[in-house]
């Protein structure tokens, strides 16, 4: 039994942070919101979010995000005979927009007379389109095509949720475009959508609901930002499993982040009915490119990058916009309502946990029946947050057909932020040995 608990402990330790990948979500509701504002048309057979976008589709989207649809159509009506590309007869719906982009110097063909409209648009290409829509350009030295993905990330336009750089789909076009609409353009407006409304490209009535959501999201992000830059955080995480399999997991931890220094202290307890609780005490320290761990007196280190470590720890950060249906503002709190994409995203967490419990990478008929978050604010700064998730399904593999319900609750309290945070490391790091 103890060996089984050690294996479970390792699996749960890898799963306690609720993270997933961009491929986990489908942004259909986001596509509908974009369509209602006249910024996404779909195809004759629907949104087709599960396939790669073409260069013609990406070009058309760029013109819409620039608010130049009418201008492009007017230019086409007066100068279509000068259209440079000879390979777009089957893409006549995109010709006005490609023509306008080429004449404006915002998109080029693959040769002097070919645009290759059916070729797939990559994440790198689309990131460049989005940053141009926000007013940035290669000509002004804002970015280069080679570094555009990093540039878009630094401006909050591209992230791991809204863009899969290896398998880029129309789903990601929608999600990244929506994120760009909520981002501030170089010209200084609150967000790109406001700029489109001011120019008359999008009607104020169609944009009103999304503008309110974007404004609330900015306040929420601003609240979370000081904690992301440096925080002392106390976490209590609980996971309970009931049904054909029963166990409880409780994790209590303290994390301290300041600049490039990080420390953690945690206690993890697994309780199975009829057996003694299994407990592990662990401390961790980041210094000089190494992650030092003391687990029940066993001291080891391994090479590590701080960014990767932060992704594995329960440090607070703003939920990506495309995972949220609604953000309500209370007197001193934000209430988040997750979208279907948000629920699908967090299902990946339970698939990982189900793998730990059942020994397989899948959980049949998985469904999330509850997902919510509450963020409390004191003096304009994050003071605490609470997230809860409930999922049900059947384990497969060695425990095939076992029906279980899993509930996860994480409560975090911020005791200090910014310059108030201190991180202390032990004096005996030289005694730690490389992990195998």
CA distances from 179 to 34, 62, 74, 92, 102 (A): 11, 14, 29, 29, 25
Pair of tokens at residue 362: 């899948």
> Is pLDDT at 192 greater than 70 in this prediction?
yes
pLDDT, position 16: 45
pLDDT, position 260: 84
Of residues 339 and 130, which shows the higher confidence score?
130
> Is pLDDT at 92 greater than 70 in this prediction?
yes
Exposure string of 163-192, with b = 16+ CB inside 10 Å and e = fewer, is: bbeeebbbbbbbbbbbbbbbbbbeeebebb
Of residues 150 and 45, which shows the higher confidence score?
150
**Confidence category of residue 26, pLDDT binned at 50, 70, 90:** confident
Stretch 348-369: mean pLDDT: 63
Rounded distance, CA 306 to CA 261, Å?
Answer: 8
Stretch 227-238: mean pLDDT: 82
Residue with tokens 């004759």: 44
Residue with tokens 């953000």: 327
Stretch 148-153: mean pLDDT: 97
Where residue 308 falls (left for φ over 0; alpha for ψ -120 to 50; beta otherwise) is alpha
Rounded distance, CA 394 to CA 401, Å?
Answer: 6
Stretch 230-251: mean pLDDT: 86
Pair of tokens at residue 236: 């209590």
**% of the chain with per-residue pLDDT over 70:** 86
Least confident of 205-214, 349-358, 408-417: 349-358
pLDDT, position 15: 44
Q: Which helix (H) or strand (E) holds 53?
A: none
pLDDT, position 357: 60
> Is pLDDT at 290 greater than 50 in this prediction?
yes
In this structure, what DSSP letter does residue 46 have? B
pLDDT, position 28: 93
Stretch 24-47: mean pLDDT: 87
Least confident of 14-23, 78-87, 142-151, 328-337: 14-23
Question: What value does the mean pLDDT of the chain take?
Answer: 86
Stretch 327-355: mean pLDDT: 80
**% of the chain with per-residue pLDDT over 90:** 53
Rounded distance, CA 88 to CA 279, Å?
Answer: 65
pLDDT, position 22: 47
Least confident of 218-222, 230-234, 338-342, 365-369: 365-369
Stretch 29-34: mean pLDDT: 94
**Confidence category of residue 331, pLDDT binned at 50, 70, 90:** confident
Tally of CB atoms within 10 A around 162? 26
> Is pLDDT at 170 greater than 90 in this prediction?
yes
HSE of 245 in the Cβ direction (CA atoms, 13 Å)?
24
pLDDT, position 389: 82
Pair of tokens at residue 47: 């949104």
Rounded distance, CA 422 to CA 436, Å?
Answer: 31
Least confident of 190-204, 242-256, 303-317: 303-317
Tally of CB atoms within 10 A around 46? 9
Are 411 and 381 within 8 A, CB to CB? no
Stretch 191-218: mean pLDDT: 96
Stretch 378-389: mean pLDDT: 84
- 170-181 and 123-133 helices cross at what angle (nearest 10)? 20
pLDDT, position 315: 61
Rounded distance, CA 265 to CA 256, Å?
Answer: 9
Stretch 245-267: mean pLDDT: 88
> Is pLDDT at 247 greater than 70 in this prediction?
yes
pLDDT, position 314: 55
């Amino acid at each position: 039994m103890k060996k089984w608990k050690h294996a479970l402990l390792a699996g749960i330790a890898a799963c306690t942070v609720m993270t997933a990948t961009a491929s986990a979500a489908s942004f259909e509701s986001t596509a509908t919101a974009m369509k209602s504002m006249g910024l996404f048309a779909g195809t004759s057979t629907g949104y087709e979010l599960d396939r790669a976008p073409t260069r013609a589709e990406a070009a058309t989207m760029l013109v819409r995000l620039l608010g130049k649809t009418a201008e492009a159509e007017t230019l086409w009506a007066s100068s279509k005979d000068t259209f440079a590309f000879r390979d777009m007869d089957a893409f006549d719906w995109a010709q006005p927009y490609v023509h306008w982009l080429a004449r404006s110097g915002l998109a080029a063909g693959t040769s002097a007379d070919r645009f290759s409209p059916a070729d797939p648009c990559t994440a790198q290409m689309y990131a460049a389109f989005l940053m141009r829509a926000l007013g940035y350009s290669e000509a002004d030295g804002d970015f280069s095509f080679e570094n555009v993905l990093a540039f878009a990330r630094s401006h909050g336009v591209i992230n791991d949720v809204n863009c899969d750089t290896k398998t880029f789909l129309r789903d990601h076009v929608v999600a990244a475009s929506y994120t760009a609409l909520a981002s501030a353009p170089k010209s200084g407006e609150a967000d790109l959508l406001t700029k489109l409304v001011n120019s008359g490209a999008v009607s104020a009535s169609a944009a009103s609901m999304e503008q309110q959501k974007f404004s609330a999201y900015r306040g929420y992000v601003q609240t979370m930002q000081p904690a992301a830059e440096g925080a002392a955080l106390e976490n209590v995480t609980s996971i309970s499993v009931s049904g054909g399999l029963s166990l409880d997991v409780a994790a209590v931890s303290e994390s301290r982040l300041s600049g490039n220094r990080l420390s953690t202290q945690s206690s993890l307890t697994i309780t199975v009915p009829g057996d003694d609780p299994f407990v592990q005490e662990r401390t961790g320290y980041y210094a000089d490119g190494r992650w030092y761990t003391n687990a029940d007196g066993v001291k080891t280190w391994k090479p590590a990058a701080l960014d990767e470590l932060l992704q594995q720890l329960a440090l607070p950060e703003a939920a990506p916009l495309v995972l949220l249906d609604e953000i309500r503002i209370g007197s001193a709190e934000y209430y988040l309502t997750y979208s279907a994409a948000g629920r699908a995203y967090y299902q990946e967490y339970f698939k990982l946990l189900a793998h730990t419990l059942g020994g397989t990478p899948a959980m049949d008929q998985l469904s999330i029946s509850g997902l919510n978050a509450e963020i409390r604010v004191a003096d304009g700064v994050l003071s605490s947050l609470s997230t809860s998730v409930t999922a049900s399904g059947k384990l497969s593999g060695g425990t095939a057909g076992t029906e279980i319900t899993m509930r996860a609750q994480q409560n975090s309290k911020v005791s200090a932020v910014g310059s108030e945070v201190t991180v202390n490391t032990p004096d005996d790091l030289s005694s730690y040995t490389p992990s195998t």
